[in-house]
Amino acid sequence: MSVEVTNESSWGIEPKVFSDLGIWVLSQMRVSTDCDVAMLFCEPAAIADLHERWMDLKGPTDVMSFPMDELRPGDGKSAAEGILGDIVICPDVASQQASAAGHSTMQEMMLLAIHGMLHLLGYDHIGPEQEHEMFGLQRQLLLTFLAQRQGAEPPAIAPSRNEMRASKHLSELSNRKNDSNSHDSGSVE
């Protein structure tokens, strides 16, 4: 299992940190030890070009994932070889998001790396339930990685706007369901 990290950005990225993180996430998700991931840190113009070319959306984004082989979380016993895919992260966008979320740019980039890994493994956040599952898992993975790495409690990371929206949405759905149940007329005797 390998995670190759390349830095083409102006930021001082520590490749070993992200390589270790990627390998750890893959092992936690029980992905075969014979898979490879490439992670690239780039400038806003480079990711904006990819964003427009592949997503037909203008402007830079935080992270993009490009799956290769269809590897999925498993039992850790399978020996399937393959290239899981590529992850592209823009530190400039990560820095803006980190400020808004109230944590460090490093934590945001680590969160984005995990987010990209989960996309490569087939996770998505199209609907509220998927978003809640994926964002909860990426947060749990990051906090656990930081705690193990530091040998202490991980630093607090404020929930992202998407996590807060997903939680609020799920709460609203639950309240609507409870309201509709309390409005049922009559009782069965």
Q: Read out DSSP for 71-112?
A: -----S-----EEEEEEEE-HHHHHHHHHHHTS-HHHHHHHH
Distance between CA atoms of 123 and 131, rounded to whole angstroms?
A: 9
At residue 151, the 3 state secondary structure works out as coil
CB 100 within 8 A of CB 132: no
What phi and psi, each to the nearest 5 degrees, are found at residue 37? Answer: -135, 140
* Residue 115 annotated as lining a ligand binding site: yes
* Residue 125 annotated as lining a ligand binding site: yes
DSSP-H helix ranges across 11-90: 15-28, 44-55
At residue 9, the 3 state secondary structure works out as coil
Residue ranges of the binding site: 115, 119, 125
Residue ranges of the binding site for Zn(2+): 115, 119, 125
